[in-house]
């Protein structure tokens, strides 16, 4: 199949070229890479493309889907798990298949969540700079033992369940809310509670649910008001799970004691790009970056060697199945 990759970075090329070369017993795909994001303007970059392969910040709305259908595109292949950026109803109406990679490495994101927690708690981001400048003082670096603290996990699917296992290893008390209770988590001792109880009782709250109309701004001013004073809030899910303005107010008042983000509501156009020589126009992001107790990474939770290999292999296998008219279990 002739596949156009949009928002393609050098690391995408590396992993997809090697996964394509390793396809066994199947026809190889023709891979064409574009740095540009997929938009109505860029969808005509290559002719005769049967599939487009896109990432988390390519907005696949109804208008773009109509443009793609008009050019004969049959498949949208998401090289990610989340699919909140695709108008699935419009795709279905146009006969365009949408496939994704539901699971590649839950460990990658769960482990990155832990990295955010440990860094914020022990202030290693600040200690690193201090020591390099010859400042060996400990003032302001006081942390707390994770052992015995209550961790609230919103969403115990693949990533939330691995995160629960990790935090269990630290001796934490685990609370969760999810409409589907995960038996592996229950065996671990995770206690399922309603959302408000989780918010009220947790020292650390970590978001692992998908972004849907129901979870949009699931953390807002009234939910923050329920949280313990000094709570640590971590979001590696999707930016819009959090009302960023309300979180900034919570940080300013001291109600939120630490914030770790791998995703940001307005990340599109910023994250995954080098803007180090630009004047950043997003005042909300810039305000967030002024807090010493806020740590932001640019959507790198998924970014491990193992995950990149699995994403490429699954995406190409999804497309091989569609090409051969086989049922694709990862079709949406």
DSSP 9-56: -HHHHHHHHHHHHT--SSPPPEEEE-SSPP-TTTTTSSTT-SEEEE-T
Enumerate residues 6+ apart whose C-beta is below 8 A from 34.
4, 5, 6, 7, 8, 42, 45, 46
Which lies closer to ligand NAI via its Cβ, residue 6 or residue 163?
163
Concerning whether 306 is annotated as a catalytic residue, the answer is: no
Annotation marks residue 238 as catalytic: yes
Minimum distance of ligand NAI from residue 276's CB (angstroms): 21
Instruction: Report which residue's Cβ sits closest to ligand NAI.
Output: 157
191 in active site: no
Chain contacts with ligand NAI (rule: CB under 6 A):
81-82, 106, 109, 154-160, 177-180, 208-211, 214-215, 236-238, 262-263, 299, 301-302
As given in the structure block, the two tokens for residue 12 are: 């995408």
CB of 115 to ligand NAI, least distance (A): 12
CB of 140 to ligand NAI, least distance (A): 28
Alpha helices (H) in the chain, listed in sequence order: 10-21, 62-70, 88-94, 106-122, 124-132, 158-169, 183-188, 195-201, 221-226, 244-253, 283-288, 305-323
Task: Please enumerate in sequence order all residues whose Cβ is within 8 A of that of 176, keeping only pairs 6 or more positions apart, or say none.
Answer: 152, 153, 154, 156, 160, 164, 182, 185, 190, 191, 192, 193, 198
49, 51, 230 from 82: Cα distances, Å: 23, 18, 30
Q: Which is nearer to ligand NAI, 68 or 176 (CB)?
A: 176
Q: 3-class DSSP state for residue 164?
A: helix
Can you tell me which residue has the tokens 């609230």? 152
Smallest separation (angstroms) from ligand NAI to the CB of 174: 14
Considering the complex, state which of residue 1 and residue 219 has its C-beta at the smaller distance from ligand NAI. 219
Please pick, among 267, 275, 305, 306, the residue that the annotation labels catalytic.
Answer: 267
Q: Which helix (H) or strand (E) holds 192?
A: strand 191-192
What single-letter DSSP state applies at residue 242?
A: B
Shortest reach from residue 297's CB to ligand NAI, in Å:
9
Instruction: Output the smallest distance, CB 83 to ligand NAI, in A.
Output: 8
Q: Of 67 and 115, which has the nearer Cβ to ligand NAI?
A: 115
Q: Give whichever of 123 and 208 is closer to ligand NAI, judged by the CB atom.
A: 208
Q: State the catalytic residue, choosing from 238, 265, 286, 323.
A: 238
| Closer by beta carbon to ligand NAI, 139 or else 214 | 214
Catalytic site positions: 238, 267, 299
């Amino acid at each position: 199949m002739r596949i156009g990759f949009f928002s393609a970075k050098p690391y995408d090329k590396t992993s997809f070229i090697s996964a394509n070369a390793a396809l066994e017993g199947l026809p190889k795909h023709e891979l064409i890479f574009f740095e540009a994001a997929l938009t109505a303007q860029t969808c005509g970059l290559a002719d005769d493309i049967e599939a487009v392969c896109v990432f988390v910040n390519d907005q696949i709305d109804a208008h773009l889907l109509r443009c793609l259908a008009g050019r004969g595109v049959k498949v949208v292949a998401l090289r990610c798990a989340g699919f909140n950026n695709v108008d699935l109803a419009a795709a279905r109406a146009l006969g365009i298949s949408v496939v994704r990679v539901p699971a590649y490495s839950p460990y990658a994101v769960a482990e990155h969540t832990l990295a955010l927690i440990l860094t914020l708690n022990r202030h290693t981001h600040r200690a690193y700079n201090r020591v390099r400048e010859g400042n060996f003082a400990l003032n302001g670096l006081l942390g707390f033992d994770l052992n015995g603290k209550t961790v609230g996990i919103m969403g115990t699917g693949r990533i939330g369940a691995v995160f629960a296992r990790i935090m269990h290893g630290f001796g934490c008390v685990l609370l969760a809310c999810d409409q589907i209770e995960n038996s592996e988590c229950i065996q671990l001792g995770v206690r399922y509670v309603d959302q408000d109880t989780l918010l009220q009782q947790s020292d650390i709250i970590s978001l692992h649910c998908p972004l849907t109309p129901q979870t949009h701004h699931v953390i807002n001013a009234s939910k923050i008001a329920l949280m313990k004073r000094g709570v640590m809030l971590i979001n590696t899910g999707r930016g819009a799970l959090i009302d960023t303005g309300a979180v900034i107010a919570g940080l300013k008042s001291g109600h939120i004691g630490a914030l770790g983000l791998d995703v940001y509501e307005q990340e599109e156009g910023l994250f995954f790009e080098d803007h180090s020589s630009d004047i950043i126009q997003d005042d909300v992001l810039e305000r967030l970056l002024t807090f010493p107790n806020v740590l932001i990474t640019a959507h790198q939770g998924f970014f491990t060697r193992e995950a990149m290999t699995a994403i490429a292999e699954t995406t190409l296998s999804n497309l091989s199945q569609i090409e051969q008219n086989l049922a694709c279990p990862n079709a949406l």
